[in-house]
Amino acid sequence: MPPYRIQTTSGGGGGAASNNDWIRADITAAEWTKHDPDGTATSITNVAGINKCTVGTDNNGKLEGCTFYREVLMADGSSLDHADSPITFRGSIHLPAIGWATSDGGSGGGDDRPPVATSVYVTMGLMSDPENLPIPADVLGIGIDSKTLGYRNYRRMTYNTSTSAPTGAISDSTSALTSINEADATAGNHSANRMDFTFVIERNEVSSDTGINIANNPVSRWILYRTRYDNGDAYGSLQSLVPNQKWGRTRTSKLYVWISIGRSASVGTAQDLDFDCYYNVQALDGDTNPSGRTPLT
């Protein structure tokens, strides 16, 4: 049985189990649930496939803003058990109308959704326990933050490796992307506003049961990502991070795709945001070995 595409309904794709196309996220579709206790996101729409909203002024990183999520389902509509089935998640985030400016202030442009240097972020990934938002025990994702330093965006990774009861603590790892200078702008590289990424949930038979961790529970040891400019040029080479995110601390019987938006710093003016997200989930068939395949004899 080949790797298969998960989910078969509108807002999450369709087609046969062998169809591995990317799924475009429409957060206004009925399959998506919104967690937004503080009203971070308002005026939420989807126009020609682009998600649009207005993001408030409060600092609400670490999944404390507005998070949309939907369950990952198998082709027959059943939940996905990842206890012994390696899962590959691929995501793509694009902020198509972001503003930009050069580091010396000589030029700028874009549609200012959001404007440059406004600390608006969009992150995406997987979690297993959305009922514990804003602190799910099993969560991993990455995305783009329109930070304030040097007219450049930041990479933001969200994860939870804490072992403290009841559900650990969310961590954000950030790193500055390149400043935009006049030479970049002349070459058409106005903003590093696209990110593609991949991570795997796999068997792990060497972990202990420290704190809320379950012995031998699944793990995501790495996440690979590449950022691109608005014209599609690669910002740099493929990058890797090592979150060592444990899974199964709440359950292994379900997984959820999530998209989170908010502000990484308190800013005095609400900002409009356009974001376009795609994802692809693949799983190997079961059995009792890390590859999910019948072992050689």
Domains of the chain by residue range? 27-283
pLDDT score, position 6 = 39
pLDDT score, position 268 = 86
Kindly state the tokens that stand for 282: 């693949």
What pTM does this model have? 0.90
Q: What are the start-end ranges of the E strands in the chain?
A: 4-5, 23-24, 33-35, 41-47, 50-55, 66-71, 87-94, 100-101, 108-109, 120-127, 139-145, 154-159, 171-176, 194-201, 219-220, 223-228, 239-241, 245-246, 256-263, 271-283
pLDDT score, position 150 = 81
- What does each C-alpha distance from 272 to 113, 168, 275 come to in angstroms? 5, 32, 10
pLDDT score, position 174 = 94
Does CATH number 2.40.50 belong to domain 27-283? no
57 touches 120 (CB < 8 A): no
Instruction: Report pLDDT digits (tens) over 61-80.
Output: 899 999 999 999 887 888 98
CA–CA distance, 133 with 101 (Å, rounded to integer)? 35
Mark the ranges of the chain whose per-residue pLDDT is less than 50. 1-19, 289, 291-297
Nearest to 248 by CA among 201, 189, 295, 191: 201
Virtual torsion, Cα 67, 94, 127, 147, nearest 10 deg: -70
267 Cβ contact partners less than 8 Å away, ≥ 6 residues apart = 57, 118, 119
CA–CA distance, 201 with 89 (Å, rounded to integer)? 8
Instruction: Report pLDDT digits (tens) over 5-36.
Output: 434 333 443 333 334 678 999 999 999 999 99
Alpha helices in 29-118 (DSSP H): none
Bridge partners of 174, per DSSP, are 156
Q: What are phi and psi of 132, to 5 degrees?
A: -95, 5
pLDDT score, position 76 = 81
pLDDT score, position 285 = 58
